[in-house]
Structure 1
């Protein structure tokens, strides 16, 4: 594609953005490949399925890992298609809260948009936090291979988390113009890494190879304390976060021809991610070491010991771990960047305290919403302090992200369905006659995930094993309600709609 064609496409996209109520402030530098392979399903698979693998083992083991992943991919596709359809008509960084405003009735749209926006904010902050925090736990796990006598304290894990946050921030702020290239590099690294892991794990298998009956059918619910049926769903918790769509939507104003490219990326990410996940999970379940040994790993993070046992040496285990670590670093950069864009967009519509400052774009650093990035990261750093009181904080972060993002995605889909889908006439990405069924299924699936993400992974529940997702969710809900009463109802009028002006 030549440069002149790129410029003409971007000019049309800028004009359409003006029709949606916004001026083009960020540089459009991403195409379909960049959008599809940024930190989301297709790229975060290797990280998202291995970093919290202890929960999958508690949730039943191999059968849950394989069939739970397949089930999640199938049930997530209707939601992806529903959001792709809406995004094709309203491709802005505001995403779901903007969609709610445009789809809802004039009487209720301001309040619904406000609620949705804050759900999105909490969701993107906690999803970014869960990825970066999970990367920190990976480092702790690997140190345990070479120094098994060392057990990281919560403060040491927190300091490692701060270090990764600093690395991600450095790239996101000072190398913003290089992020599309970094995303392509991350895609190449992930594809190459998964290929290497598939071969190495399958060939070495130092603890032996399991028959298909074990790899595809072994299910042990005893570690969770729940009944077998609920244990299976508990094992899905690590997989659910992989299917966050926030990155696609939040980066819409930086994508060429977003009405076409972003919906395609959303729709394709599910099947692409499903294949990636199976390529990673199958060699693991066929060569899985003793599950009891893995669950007894120091710090509750068995990935380092798992790779060491399968590969038969510390060096081999380090090599497998290093592949996942670099993927985690790439994910941390990209998802923190996307969280800042969502924060900037909400501030642009005067819905965040000190919105004038937060919504400024630093053009000297290459069109970076730096203040929004600082706010987004600062909130995540404070939330990470929960880990000092609960070793299961990772599940809490994942749970809050799933609850908030799921609810924020379901709201515009529900409004669309209640309106008889009349707003989706002649959109670039139509669902046609399948639209009502896919929309309804998406809403029911999100309701189920909300319940699942609020539950503790094991029982009986203690203050350490408690899932604090609901506490964080209610806390942020209270903050947003108070701010609406004090300020929002006076100054927040929702996204600007030029034709109504």
Structure 2
């Protein structure tokens, strides 16, 4: 009765030993515990992407600076380029699965003359980017919390800058507390985050068209071809196209 579980544990042990041998060939010794399952590793990136919050946070910029077509085609074209980057990084991560992936790859693949400088730039650029992205995500969350409070009060409540900043600090502190938890706890939380993100996406996809009055539903031609310019003068876009 226990043979399948024994085989599974043996196969996992064999994979772990093989990976440790690969790291040894790369000059690394495994130090971290492997507490994350494949779904939970995916959950980290999926949570960072945050489909709904990401879209909601940029609506205020996208709608007056291009309109519907800029969001649809900008997302589609950008996704193709991002996908190529993701596939390349996945290949590198599979070939050299080190904890310091980006700067290790930069050091390994660069010429001996520039590898130290380039790996330093990549490492610190990634660190600064992580800090900035966290601040951006939490600020967007604070804005949406304040907007939800305003909508819930019938727009009688409008958060001041101090209140908005206080919400932002509270969200930052809550995330800091979560990050102080053990690796196993963080790994299990990723499954919860994945489920929440997927359910929210499904809910919006279903509820938004159902609850929106017909007179406010735009046609496909509008979504794919509408261009709106509420801020920049026409010559700006003409110059941009010419460039």
TM-score normalised per structure 1: 0.43
- Aligned twin of 1:159: 166
Q: How far apart, CA to CA, are the structure 2 residues paired with 1:166 and 1:203?
A: 37
Q: How far apart, CA to CA, are the structure 2 residues paired with 1:81 and 1:212?
A: 31
Cα–Cα, structure 1 residues 231 and 156, in superposed 2: closer, same or farther, change >3 Å?
farther
Cα–Cα, structure 1 residues 182 and 86, in superposed 2: closer, same or farther, change >3 Å?
same
Cα–Cα, structure 1 residues 74 and 62, in superposed 2: closer, same or farther, change >3 Å?
same
Cα–Cα, structure 1 residues 183 and 230, in superposed 2: closer, same or farther, change >3 Å?
farther
Q: How far apart, CA to CA, are the structure 2 residues paired with 1:190 and 1:224?
A: 35
- Residues 47 and 193 in structure 2, CA contact (< 8 A), matched pair in contact too: no
- Aligned twin of 2:12: 6
1:188 matches 2:195: yes
- Aligned twin of 2:177: 170
Q: How far apart, CA to CA, are the structure 1 residues paired with 2:159 and 2:68?
A: 28
Secondary structure of 2:24's counterpart equals helix
Which of 195, 208, 211 does residue 204 from structure 1 map onto?
211
1:61-80 pair list within 5 angstroms: 61-80=67-86
1:97 matches 2:103: yes
- Residues 43 and 186 in structure 1, CA contact (< 8 A), matched pair in contact too: no
Aligned length: 232
1:229 shift after superposition = 6.5
Residue by residue over 1:406-448, the C-alpha shift from the partner in whole angstroms, topping out at 9 and shown as x without a partner, is: xxxxxxxxxxxxxxxxxxxxxxxxxxxxxxxxxxxxxxxxxxx
Which of 208, 220, 231 does residue 223 from structure 1 map onto?
231
- Residues 47 and 197 in structure 2, CA contact (< 8 A), matched pair in contact too: no
**Whose relative contact order is higher, 1 or 2, with alpha carbons under 8 Å and at least 6 apart?**
2
Which of 32, 53, 63 does residue 57 from structure 1 map onto?
63
1:222 shift after superposition = 2.4
1:28 shift after superposition = 0.8
Cα–Cα, structure 1 residues 177 and 229, in superposed 2: closer, same or farther, change >3 Å?
farther
- Residues 61 and 220 in structure 1, CA contact (< 8 A), matched pair in contact too: yes
1:262-281 pair list within 5 angstroms: none
Which of 117, 142, 153 does residue 123 from structure 2 map onto?
117
Q: How far apart, CA to CA, are the structure 2 residues paired with 1:52 and 1:151?
A: 20
- Aligned twin of 2:139: 133
Q: How far apart, CA to CA, are the structure 2 residues paired with 1:78 and 1:149?
A: 47
- Residues 47 and 194 in structure 2, CA contact (< 8 A), matched pair in contact too: no
Q: How far apart, CA to CA, are the structure 2 residues paired with 1:134 and 1:229?
A: 32
- Aligned twin of 1:404: none
Secondary structure of 2:229's counterpart equals coil
Cα–Cα, structure 1 residues 43 and 75, in superposed 2: closer, same or farther, change >3 Å?
closer
1:116 shift after superposition = 1.9
Structure 1 residue ranges without an equivalent (≥5): 233-501
1:172 shift after superposition = 1.8
CA RMSD of aligned residues (A): 2.5
1:115 shift after superposition = 1.9
Cα–Cα, structure 1 residues 184 and 231, in superposed 2: closer, same or farther, change >3 Å?
farther
Which structure has the greater CA radius of gyration? 2
1:225 shift after superposition = 4.2
Structure 2 residue ranges without an equivalent (≥5): none
Q: How far apart, CA to CA, are the structure 2 residues paired with 1:22 and 1:193?
A: 40
1:17 matches 2:23: yes
Q: Which has the higher helix share?
A: 2
Q: How far apart, CA to CA, are the structure 2 residues paired with 1:38 and 1:61?
A: 31
TM-score normalised per structure 2: 0.84
